[in-house]
Structure 1
Amino acid sequence: MYKELKEAYGFLFEDELLQEIAGSGSLRRARAGEKIIEIGSYVKSIPLLISGAIKILREDKNGDELLLYFIERGDTCAMTLACCLGDTKSEIRAVAETDTVFVMIPIEKMEEWVAKYKSWRNFVFESYHSRLSEMLDTIDTIAFMNMDERLMRYLQDRAKINGDPAIQSTHQQIAYDLHTSRVVISRLLKKLEMQGKISLQRNQILVKDL
Protein backbone atom coordinates (compact mmCIF):
# COMPACT_ATOMS: atom_id res chain seq x y z
CA MET A 1 0.00 0.00 0.00
CA TYR A 2 2.87 2.40 0.77
CA LYS A 3 4.04 2.44 -2.86
CA GLU A 4 0.57 3.36 -4.13
CA LEU A 5 0.23 6.08 -1.48
CA LYS A 6 3.64 7.47 -2.37
CA GLU A 7 2.66 7.75 -6.04
CA ALA A 8 -0.71 9.40 -5.31
CA TYR A 9 0.13 11.57 -2.27
CA GLY A 10 3.93 11.80 -2.14
CA PHE A 11 3.80 15.39 -3.41
CA LEU A 12 1.55 16.34 -0.47
CA PHE A 13 2.70 14.31 2.54
CA GLU A 14 6.07 13.59 4.14
CA ASP A 15 7.31 10.02 4.30
CA GLU A 16 6.52 9.66 8.02
CA LEU A 17 2.86 10.48 7.43
CA LEU A 18 2.67 8.17 4.42
CA GLN A 19 4.03 5.37 6.59
CA GLU A 20 1.36 6.08 9.22
CA ILE A 21 -1.40 6.10 6.60
CA ALA A 22 -0.18 2.77 5.22
CA GLY A 23 -0.08 1.32 8.73
CA SER A 24 -3.48 2.62 9.86
CA GLY A 25 -5.58 2.58 6.71
CA SER A 26 -7.29 -0.28 4.92
CA LEU A 27 -7.03 -0.70 1.15
CA ARG A 28 -10.39 -1.01 -0.59
CA ARG A 29 -11.55 -1.55 -4.15
CA ALA A 30 -14.90 -0.66 -5.71
CA ARG A 31 -16.29 -1.51 -9.12
CA ALA A 32 -17.86 1.21 -11.27
CA GLY A 33 -21.37 1.91 -9.96
CA GLU A 34 -20.74 0.44 -6.51
CA LYS A 35 -21.89 2.48 -3.50
CA ILE A 36 -19.09 3.38 -1.09
CA ILE A 37 -20.93 5.65 1.37
CA GLU A 38 -24.71 5.73 1.78
CA ILE A 39 -26.97 8.55 2.92
CA GLY A 40 -27.97 8.14 6.56
CA SER A 41 -25.00 6.00 7.56
CA TYR A 42 -22.52 6.99 10.26
CA VAL A 43 -19.11 7.67 8.72
CA LYS A 44 -16.20 6.40 10.81
CA SER A 45 -13.47 6.71 8.17
CA ILE A 46 -12.61 8.83 5.15
CA PRO A 47 -11.43 7.75 1.67
CA LEU A 48 -8.11 8.73 0.09
CA LEU A 49 -8.22 7.91 -3.61
CA ILE A 50 -5.35 5.96 -5.13
CA SER A 51 -6.92 5.56 -8.58
CA GLY A 52 -10.26 5.98 -10.29
CA ALA A 53 -12.98 8.49 -9.45
CA ILE A 54 -15.95 8.76 -7.09
CA LYS A 55 -19.04 10.88 -7.64
CA ILE A 56 -20.72 12.56 -4.68
CA LEU A 57 -24.51 12.80 -4.82
CA ARG A 58 -27.14 14.57 -2.76
CA GLU A 59 -30.73 13.33 -2.45
CA ASP A 60 -33.90 15.38 -2.05
CA LYS A 61 -36.98 14.46 0.01
CA ASN A 62 -38.49 12.66 -2.99
CA GLY A 63 -35.44 10.43 -3.40
CA ASP A 64 -34.16 12.20 -6.53
CA GLU A 65 -30.39 12.60 -6.80
CA LEU A 66 -28.22 15.57 -7.75
CA LEU A 67 -24.55 15.28 -8.65
CA LEU A 68 -22.46 17.61 -6.46
CA TYR A 69 -18.90 16.88 -7.56
CA PHE A 70 -16.32 14.22 -8.40
CA ILE A 71 -13.25 13.28 -6.37
CA GLU A 72 -10.19 11.85 -8.09
CA ARG A 73 -6.71 10.51 -7.32
CA GLY A 74 -5.05 12.59 -4.62
CA ASP A 75 -8.41 13.84 -3.27
CA THR A 76 -10.74 13.14 -0.39
CA CYS A 77 -14.35 14.09 0.30
CA ALA A 78 -14.83 17.21 2.45
CA MET A 79 -18.41 16.27 3.34
CA THR A 80 -17.15 12.93 4.66
CA LEU A 81 -14.57 14.81 6.74
CA ALA A 82 -17.33 16.96 8.20
CA CYS A 83 -19.45 13.92 9.09
CA CYS A 84 -16.48 12.24 10.77
CA LEU A 85 -15.56 15.29 12.85
CA GLY A 86 -19.18 15.98 13.81
CA ASP A 87 -20.08 12.32 14.39
CA THR A 88 -23.20 12.85 12.28
CA LYS A 89 -24.96 10.76 9.67
CA SER A 90 -23.85 11.12 6.07
CA GLU A 91 -25.87 13.53 3.94
CA ILE A 92 -24.26 12.36 0.71
CA ARG A 93 -24.00 9.18 -1.33
CA ALA A 94 -20.58 8.24 -2.72
CA VAL A 95 -20.60 6.00 -5.81
CA ALA A 96 -17.62 4.75 -7.79
CA GLU A 97 -17.64 6.47 -11.19
CA THR A 98 -14.98 4.06 -12.48
CA ASP A 99 -13.24 1.03 -10.99
CA THR A 100 -11.63 2.67 -7.98
CA VAL A 101 -8.89 1.93 -5.45
CA PHE A 102 -8.83 3.89 -2.19
CA VAL A 103 -7.60 3.80 1.39
CA MET A 104 -10.04 4.27 4.28
CA ILE A 105 -8.59 6.26 7.19
CA PRO A 106 -10.09 5.84 10.70
CA ILE A 107 -11.53 9.01 12.22
CA GLU A 108 -9.27 8.90 15.28
CA LYS A 109 -6.17 9.02 13.08
CA MET A 110 -7.56 11.90 11.04
CA GLU A 111 -7.95 14.00 14.19
CA GLU A 112 -4.51 12.99 15.49
CA TRP A 113 -2.78 13.94 12.24
CA VAL A 114 -4.45 17.37 12.11
CA ALA A 115 -2.47 18.25 15.24
CA LYS A 116 0.67 16.30 14.36
CA TYR A 117 1.29 17.08 10.67
CA LYS A 118 1.06 20.48 9.03
CA SER A 119 0.82 18.81 5.59
CA TRP A 120 -2.28 16.85 6.68
CA ARG A 121 -3.86 19.95 8.22
CA ASN A 122 -3.29 21.89 4.99
CA PHE A 123 -4.71 18.97 3.01
CA VAL A 124 -7.91 18.95 5.09
CA PHE A 125 -8.38 22.72 4.76
CA GLU A 126 -7.65 22.66 1.04
CA SER A 127 -10.12 19.81 0.57
CA TYR A 128 -12.85 21.88 2.24
CA HIS A 129 -12.01 24.84 0.03
CA SER A 130 -11.89 22.84 -3.21
CA ARG A 131 -15.14 20.98 -2.58
CA LEU A 132 -16.92 24.18 -1.51
CA SER A 133 -15.81 25.84 -4.74
CA GLU A 134 -17.10 22.87 -6.74
CA MET A 135 -20.47 22.92 -4.96
CA LEU A 136 -20.78 26.66 -5.60
CA ASP A 137 -19.97 25.95 -9.23
CA THR A 138 -22.73 23.33 -9.27
CA ILE A 139 -25.16 25.88 -7.85
CA ASP A 140 -24.11 28.37 -10.53
CA THR A 141 -24.72 25.86 -13.33
CA ILE A 142 -28.19 25.10 -11.97
CA ALA A 143 -29.06 28.78 -11.50
CA PHE A 144 -27.52 30.31 -14.62
CA MET A 145 -27.07 27.60 -17.28
CA ASN A 146 -29.70 26.13 -19.59
CA MET A 147 -30.16 22.38 -19.30
CA ASP A 148 -28.39 21.72 -22.61
CA GLU A 149 -25.35 23.66 -21.34
CA ARG A 150 -25.43 21.74 -18.05
CA LEU A 151 -25.67 18.46 -19.93
CA MET A 152 -22.73 19.30 -22.19
CA ARG A 153 -20.59 20.33 -19.24
CA TYR A 154 -21.54 17.15 -17.40
CA LEU A 155 -20.50 15.01 -20.38
CA GLN A 156 -17.21 16.88 -20.76
CA ASP A 157 -16.43 16.47 -17.05
CA ARG A 158 -17.13 12.74 -17.14
CA ALA A 159 -15.03 12.26 -20.27
CA LYS A 160 -12.09 14.08 -18.68
CA ILE A 161 -12.38 12.19 -15.38
CA ASN A 162 -12.61 8.82 -17.15
CA GLY A 163 -9.82 9.73 -19.56
CA ASP A 164 -12.03 8.54 -22.39
CA PRO A 165 -14.36 10.53 -24.68
CA ALA A 166 -16.67 7.50 -24.87
CA ILE A 167 -19.10 7.55 -21.92
CA GLN A 168 -20.90 4.36 -20.94
CA SER A 169 -24.17 5.53 -19.40
CA THR A 170 -27.91 5.27 -19.86
CA HIS A 171 -30.05 8.34 -20.51
CA GLN A 172 -31.87 7.55 -17.24
CA GLN A 173 -28.65 7.60 -15.20
CA ILE A 174 -27.68 10.98 -16.66
CA ALA A 175 -31.17 12.24 -15.81
CA TYR A 176 -30.69 11.10 -12.20
CA ASP A 177 -27.34 12.90 -11.94
CA LEU A 178 -28.74 16.13 -13.36
CA HIS A 179 -32.05 15.91 -11.47
CA THR A 180 -34.27 15.94 -14.55
CA SER A 181 -36.26 13.47 -16.67
CA ARG A 182 -35.02 10.86 -19.15
CA VAL A 183 -37.23 12.37 -21.87
CA VAL A 184 -35.51 15.76 -21.47
CA ILE A 185 -32.04 14.18 -21.56
CA SER A 186 -32.83 12.11 -24.66
CA ARG A 187 -34.13 15.18 -26.48
CA LEU A 188 -31.11 17.29 -25.54
CA LEU A 189 -28.65 14.55 -26.49
CA LYS A 190 -30.21 14.47 -29.96
CA LYS A 191 -29.86 18.26 -30.13
CA LEU A 192 -26.17 18.11 -29.11
CA GLU A 193 -25.58 15.40 -31.71
CA MET A 194 -27.13 17.58 -34.42
CA GLN A 195 -24.77 20.38 -33.33
CA GLY A 196 -21.81 18.03 -33.82
CA LYS A 197 -20.76 18.14 -30.15
CA ILE A 198 -21.41 14.45 -29.44
CA SER A 199 -22.12 11.22 -31.26
CA LEU A 200 -24.77 8.82 -29.99
CA GLN A 201 -23.58 5.26 -30.45
CA ARG A 202 -24.79 1.88 -29.26
CA ASN A 203 -24.74 1.92 -25.44
CA GLN A 204 -22.41 4.91 -25.30
CA ILE A 205 -22.02 8.64 -25.94
CA LEU A 206 -18.91 9.90 -27.72
CA VAL A 207 -17.94 13.44 -26.67
CA LYS A 208 -16.40 15.31 -29.60
CA ASP A 209 -16.27 18.79 -28.09
CA LEU A 210 -13.70 18.58 -25.28
Structure 2
Amino acid sequence: MNKADWLGLLNYFHEEKWKKNTCIINHQKFLFHFYIITSGRLKMYNVDGISRKEHTLFLLKKGDVFDLFCLLDGSKHKVYYECLDTINVLAIPMDQLRDWLNKNPLYYKNFLSYSGKIMRTLEESVSQLIFADISTRLLKLLVDNIDEKSKQLKLINNLPNKELAHLIGSTRAVVNRHLQKLKKNGSISLQRNQVEIKDISLLLKELENNLKDRK
Protein backbone atom coordinates (compact mmCIF):
# COMPACT_ATOMS: atom_id res chain seq x y z
CA MET A 1 0.00 0.00 0.00
CA ASN A 2 1.15 3.52 -0.63
CA LYS A 3 1.60 5.73 2.41
CA ALA A 4 -1.39 7.97 1.76
CA ASP A 5 -3.83 5.04 1.43
CA TRP A 6 -2.39 3.32 4.50
CA LEU A 7 -2.68 6.45 6.64
CA GLY A 8 -6.21 6.95 5.39
CA LEU A 9 -7.16 3.39 6.35
CA LEU A 10 -5.54 3.74 9.78
CA ASN A 11 -8.09 6.42 10.66
CA TYR A 12 -10.69 3.65 11.01
CA PHE A 13 -8.58 1.55 13.39
CA HIS A 14 -8.21 1.61 17.14
CA GLU A 15 -5.66 -0.27 19.23
CA GLU A 16 -6.46 -3.01 21.74
CA LYS A 17 -4.27 -4.98 24.15
CA TRP A 18 -5.23 -8.51 25.17
CA LYS A 19 -3.54 -10.18 28.14
CA LYS A 20 -1.73 -13.49 27.94
CA ASN A 21 -4.04 -16.53 28.32
CA THR A 22 -7.09 -14.50 27.29
CA CYS A 23 -9.52 -16.88 25.57
CA ILE A 24 -11.98 -15.49 23.04
CA ILE A 25 -14.93 -17.78 22.40
CA ASN A 26 -17.50 -15.20 21.27
CA HIS A 27 -17.84 -15.85 17.52
CA GLN A 28 -19.84 -12.64 17.07
CA LYS A 29 -16.76 -10.60 17.98
CA PHE A 30 -15.01 -11.55 14.76
CA LEU A 31 -18.11 -11.17 12.63
CA PHE A 32 -18.16 -7.44 13.28
CA HIS A 33 -14.48 -6.54 13.70
CA PHE A 34 -11.29 -7.29 11.80
CA TYR A 35 -7.89 -7.40 13.52
CA ILE A 36 -4.23 -7.01 12.62
CA ILE A 37 -1.67 -8.33 15.12
CA THR A 38 1.11 -5.84 15.86
CA SER A 39 2.88 -7.88 18.57
CA GLY A 40 2.61 -11.25 20.28
CA ARG A 41 1.20 -14.65 19.30
CA LEU A 42 -2.38 -15.84 19.09
CA LYS A 43 -3.54 -19.38 18.48
CA MET A 44 -6.63 -20.11 16.40
CA TYR A 45 -8.08 -23.46 17.35
CA ASN A 46 -11.12 -25.69 17.35
CA VAL A 47 -12.52 -28.19 19.85
CA ASP A 48 -14.40 -31.38 19.07
CA GLY A 49 -17.86 -31.24 20.62
CA ILE A 50 -17.81 -34.90 21.68
CA SER A 51 -14.26 -35.83 22.63
CA ARG A 52 -13.29 -32.26 23.64
CA LYS A 53 -10.00 -32.78 21.83
CA GLU A 54 -8.35 -29.56 20.73
CA HIS A 55 -6.51 -28.85 17.49
CA THR A 56 -4.60 -25.67 16.70
CA LEU A 57 -5.31 -24.51 13.16
CA PHE A 58 -2.88 -21.59 13.07
CA LEU A 59 -0.37 -19.75 15.21
CA LEU A 60 -0.88 -16.10 14.30
CA LYS A 61 1.92 -13.59 14.82
CA LYS A 62 2.84 -9.98 14.07
CA GLY A 63 1.47 -9.01 10.66
CA ASP A 64 -1.20 -11.72 10.57
CA VAL A 65 -4.89 -10.83 10.33
CA PHE A 66 -8.20 -12.34 11.46
CA ASP A 67 -10.97 -13.16 10.86
CA LEU A 68 -10.35 -13.40 7.14
CA PHE A 69 -13.23 -15.82 6.55
CA CYS A 70 -15.74 -13.40 8.09
CA LEU A 71 -14.39 -10.59 5.94
CA LEU A 72 -14.75 -12.58 2.72
CA ASP A 73 -18.08 -14.34 3.21
CA GLY A 74 -19.79 -12.38 6.02
CA SER A 75 -20.69 -15.58 7.87
CA LYS A 76 -19.97 -16.57 11.45
CA HIS A 77 -16.76 -18.58 11.80
CA LYS A 78 -16.87 -21.16 14.57
CA VAL A 79 -13.29 -21.10 15.82
CA TYR A 80 -11.68 -19.98 19.06
CA TYR A 81 -8.68 -17.81 19.90
CA GLU A 82 -6.25 -17.77 22.83
CA CYS A 83 -3.45 -15.30 23.51
CA LEU A 84 -0.14 -17.11 23.98
CA ASP A 85 1.46 -13.77 24.89
CA THR A 86 0.12 -10.38 25.81
CA ILE A 87 -0.73 -9.14 22.34
CA ASN A 88 -1.49 -5.84 20.67
CA VAL A 89 -3.93 -5.62 17.78
CA LEU A 90 -5.31 -2.98 15.48
CA ALA A 91 -9.11 -3.31 15.22
CA ILE A 92 -11.47 -1.99 12.57
CA PRO A 93 -15.25 -2.46 12.19
CA MET A 94 -15.82 -5.07 9.49
CA ASP A 95 -18.34 -2.97 7.56
CA GLN A 96 -15.92 -0.03 7.41
CA LEU A 97 -13.16 -2.27 6.04
CA ARG A 98 -15.48 -3.74 3.40
CA ASP A 99 -16.59 -0.23 2.43
CA TRP A 100 -12.96 0.90 2.15
CA LEU A 101 -12.09 -2.12 -0.01
CA ASN A 102 -15.03 -1.43 -2.30
CA LYS A 103 -13.68 2.07 -2.81
CA ASN A 104 -10.10 0.78 -3.21
CA PRO A 105 -10.50 -2.53 -5.11
CA LEU A 106 -6.81 -2.54 -6.03
CA TYR A 107 -6.01 -3.82 -2.55
CA TYR A 108 -8.26 -6.86 -2.76
CA LYS A 109 -5.32 -8.68 -4.37
CA ASN A 110 -3.42 -8.44 -1.06
CA PHE A 111 -6.23 -10.25 0.74
CA LEU A 112 -6.45 -12.84 -2.04
CA SER A 113 -2.72 -13.49 -1.82
CA TYR A 114 -2.95 -13.88 1.95
CA SER A 115 -5.98 -16.18 1.51
CA GLY A 116 -3.97 -18.36 -0.86
CA LYS A 117 -1.20 -18.66 1.70
CA ILE A 118 -3.73 -19.70 4.36
CA MET A 119 -5.31 -22.30 2.07
CA ARG A 120 -1.92 -23.82 1.22
CA THR A 121 -1.04 -24.03 4.91
CA LEU A 122 -4.34 -25.77 5.68
CA GLU A 123 -3.84 -28.16 2.76
CA GLU A 124 -0.40 -29.14 4.00
CA SER A 125 -1.66 -29.53 7.57
CA VAL A 126 -4.47 -31.86 6.51
CA SER A 127 -2.09 -33.91 4.38
CA GLN A 128 0.31 -34.27 7.31
CA LEU A 129 -2.48 -35.42 9.63
CA ILE A 130 -3.59 -38.06 7.13
CA PHE A 131 -0.32 -39.34 5.69
CA ALA A 132 2.44 -38.70 8.28
CA ASP A 133 3.00 -40.36 11.64
CA ILE A 134 3.42 -38.30 14.80
CA SER A 135 7.21 -38.53 14.80
CA THR A 136 7.36 -37.08 11.28
CA ARG A 137 4.84 -34.36 12.10
CA LEU A 138 6.83 -33.28 15.14
CA LEU A 139 10.12 -33.28 13.24
CA LYS A 140 8.60 -31.20 10.46
CA LEU A 141 7.13 -28.76 12.98
CA LEU A 142 10.56 -28.26 14.52
CA VAL A 143 12.44 -28.00 11.23
CA ASP A 144 9.92 -25.58 9.71
CA ASN A 145 10.26 -23.24 12.69
CA ILE A 146 14.06 -22.97 12.87
CA ASP A 147 15.26 -19.42 12.31
CA GLU A 148 17.85 -19.25 9.52
CA LYS A 149 20.05 -16.76 11.38
CA SER A 150 19.96 -17.95 14.99
CA LYS A 151 19.50 -21.65 14.11
CA GLN A 152 17.03 -21.83 16.99
CA LEU A 153 13.28 -22.20 17.11
CA LYS A 154 11.01 -19.24 16.43
CA LEU A 155 7.26 -18.90 17.01
CA ILE A 156 7.05 -22.21 18.92
CA ASN A 157 10.27 -21.67 20.89
CA ASN A 158 8.73 -21.59 24.40
CA LEU A 159 5.47 -23.46 23.97
CA PRO A 160 4.68 -26.30 26.40
CA ASN A 161 4.40 -29.83 25.05
CA LYS A 162 0.61 -29.62 25.26
CA GLU A 163 0.59 -26.76 22.74
CA LEU A 164 3.02 -28.58 20.43
CA ALA A 165 0.69 -31.58 20.60
CA HIS A 166 -2.31 -29.45 19.60
CA LEU A 167 -0.39 -28.31 16.53
CA ILE A 168 0.25 -31.83 15.22
CA GLY A 169 -2.86 -33.68 16.36
CA SER A 170 -1.30 -35.60 19.24
CA THR A 171 -1.14 -35.63 23.04
CA ARG A 172 1.31 -34.10 25.48
CA ALA A 173 2.56 -37.51 26.65
CA VAL A 174 3.29 -38.71 23.10
CA VAL A 175 5.05 -35.48 22.15
CA ASN A 176 7.16 -35.63 25.30
CA ARG A 177 8.20 -39.20 24.47
CA HIS A 178 9.35 -38.22 20.98
CA LEU A 179 11.18 -35.14 22.28
CA GLN A 180 13.05 -37.31 24.77
CA LYS A 181 14.20 -39.53 21.89
CA LEU A 182 15.48 -36.47 20.01
CA LYS A 183 17.26 -35.32 23.15
CA LYS A 184 18.85 -38.74 23.56
CA ASN A 185 20.26 -38.70 20.00
CA GLY A 186 21.77 -35.26 20.58
CA SER A 187 19.70 -33.21 18.13
CA ILE A 188 17.97 -31.09 20.80
CA SER A 189 18.22 -30.19 24.48
CA LEU A 190 15.23 -29.67 26.74
CA GLN A 191 14.58 -27.23 29.53
CA ARG A 192 11.31 -25.98 31.00
CA ASN A 193 9.04 -25.21 28.01
CA GLN A 194 12.16 -24.65 25.93
CA VAL A 195 13.52 -26.74 23.08
CA GLU A 196 17.04 -25.80 22.01
CA ILE A 197 18.36 -27.04 18.69
CA LYS A 198 21.76 -28.68 19.17
CA ASP A 199 22.34 -30.29 15.77
CA ILE A 200 20.12 -29.38 12.80
CA SER A 201 21.76 -32.01 10.61
CA LEU A 202 20.60 -34.77 12.96
CA LEU A 203 17.04 -33.43 12.88
CA LEU A 204 17.07 -33.32 9.09
CA LYS A 205 18.53 -36.82 8.88
CA GLU A 206 15.84 -38.12 11.23
CA LEU A 207 13.13 -36.48 9.13
CA GLU A 208 14.65 -37.84 5.92
CA ASN A 209 14.72 -41.37 7.36
CA ASN A 210 11.08 -41.10 8.43
CA LEU A 211 10.04 -39.97 4.96
CA LYS A 212 11.98 -42.85 3.36
CA ASP A 213 10.22 -45.34 5.62
CA ARG A 214 6.86 -44.11 4.30
CA LYS A 215 7.73 -45.07 0.73
Same-fold status (TM-score > 0.5)? yes
The answer to whether the 8 Å contact 1:113/1:121 transfers is no
Instruction: Quote the Cα distance in structure 2 between the aligned partners of 1:178 and 1:33.
Output: 21
The 1:98–1:158 alpha-carbon spacing in structure 2 relative to 1, beyond 3 Å, is farther
Distance 1:184 1:39 in 2: 31
Which moves more between the two structures, 65-74 or 123-132? 65-74
Question: What is the one-letter code of the residue matched to 1:76?
Answer: V
Contact 2:39 2:87 in 1 (8 A): yes
* TM-fit CA distance, 1:84: 4.0
Instruction: Name which of 130, 133, 137 aligns with 1:143.
Output: 130
**Paired residues of 1:52 and 1:73 also in contact (CA < 8 A):** yes
Q: Could you tell me which residue of structure 2 aligns to residue 57 of structure 1?
A: 45
Q: Distance in 2 between matches of 1:159 and 1:55?
A: 19
Kept in 1: contact 2:129–2:169 (CA 8 A)? no
Calculate the TM-score normalised by the size of structure 2.
0.76
Alignment of 1:132-171 (within 5 A): 132-157=119-144, 160=147, 165=153, 167-171=157-161
CA contact (8 A) 1:42 1:89 kept: no
Q: Distance in 1 between matches of 2:26 and 2:125?
A: 20
Please name the residue that 1:123 is paired with: 110
TM-score (norm. length: structure 1): 0.77
CA distance in 1, matches of 2:139, 2:16: 32
* Corresponding pairs, count: 193
Aligned to 1:3: none
In the TM superposition, 1:181-192 aligns within 5 A as: 181-192=171-182
105-114 or 42-51, larger mean C-alpha shift: 42-51
Shift of 1:134: 0.7
CA drift of 1:109 comes to 1.7
Q: Which amino acid aligns with 1:172?
A: K
Query: Where does structure 2 lack aligned partners over 5 or more consecutive residues?
Result: 204-215
- Counterpart mapping for 1:6-155 below 5 A: 13-35=1-23, 37-38=24-25, 40-43=27-30, 44-61=32-49, 62-77=51-66, 80-155=67-142
Give distance in 2, aligned partners of 1:156 and 1:102.
Answer: 29
Structure 1: unaligned runs, 5 residues or longer? 1-12
Deviation at 1:115, TM superposition (A): 1.5
Give distance in 2, aligned partners of 1:173 and 1:70.
Answer: 10
User: Offset at 1:119?
Assistant: 4.4
Q: 1:83 to 1:18 in 2, by over 3 A?
A: same
Based on CA coordinates, which of the two structures has the bigger radius of gyration? Answer: 2
| C-alpha RMSD of the superposition | 2.6
Identity %: 20
